[in-house]
Chains A and B, each alone.
Chain A
Amino acid sequence: EAGVVQSPRYKIIEKKQPVAFWCNPISGHNTLYWYRQNLGQGPELLIRYENEEAVDDSQLPKDRFSAERLKGVDSTLKIQPAELGDSAVYLCASSLDRRTNEQYFGPGTRLTVT
């Protein structure tokens, strides 16, 4: 079984530039999550999808961040424009079992904003 796939693995951009991250969850996993992980910290949830519906986006900075999950499978997270403070690892996760909420994580995208 393939795991959660993310691309790119690394991205370096200048501030004020746009950037997009892509995630392909495990097949059959209806719930998809985007997290941001700062250095030395645990992941913090940005947005959670149930199929194509964003059911929790309370932590997503909506002035510059956007996300979509067309057809309830792949998802894209976008930042426009990026700021220096956005430098972090962006993790995508998916889960199958809504009772336990056990999550499977992708390798993440390390974003550096200069």
Chain B
Amino acid sequence: SQQGEEDPQALSIQEGENATMNCSYKTSINNLQWYRQNSGRGLVHLILIRSNEREKHSGRLRVTLDTSKKSSSLLITASRAADTASYFCATDASNQGGKLIFGQGTELSVKP
């Protein structure tokens, strides 16, 4: 079963706009990670945020974590056509012995 629920399931924006994706989870976590998957490819790790962190930045990516609400968001600023992909959150749950549990993903389409 999958712990993460992502919202929206699909998002279509114009190049230059910001894209925000949300992830909710159910149990306490050690960390939460975001991955990107281009069509027909494997997943690529983007960013990790620990349970004691509230916000993290990496280039055009900004991740927030609210452990009281068991939710996270991924913001991609100034989006590019090359950002078109599926984005998955994955939780490293405290009681799962190091297992990552993935959400169902958000499919992002950035139109030039």
- Which residues of A are in contact with B by a Cβ distance under 8 Å? 4, 31, 40-45, 48, 55-56, 91, 93, 98, 100-108, 110
Contacts and interface: CB of A to CB of B under 8 A. Distances in A.
Contacts of B102: 42-44
B44 A42 contact: no
B98 A42 contact: no
Contacts, number: 60
Q: Is the interface of A mostly helix, strand, loop or mixed?
A: loop
Interface string B89-112: 010100001111111110000000
Interface residues of B, number: 25
5 contacts: A42-B88, A101-B92, A103-B100, A105-B42, A108-B41
Q: Is the interface of B mostly helix, strand, loop or mixed?
A: strand
A39 B18 CA distance: 26
Nearest to B92: A101
Nearest first, the 3 closest Cβ-Cβ pairs linking A and B are A42-B102, A105-B42, A105-B43
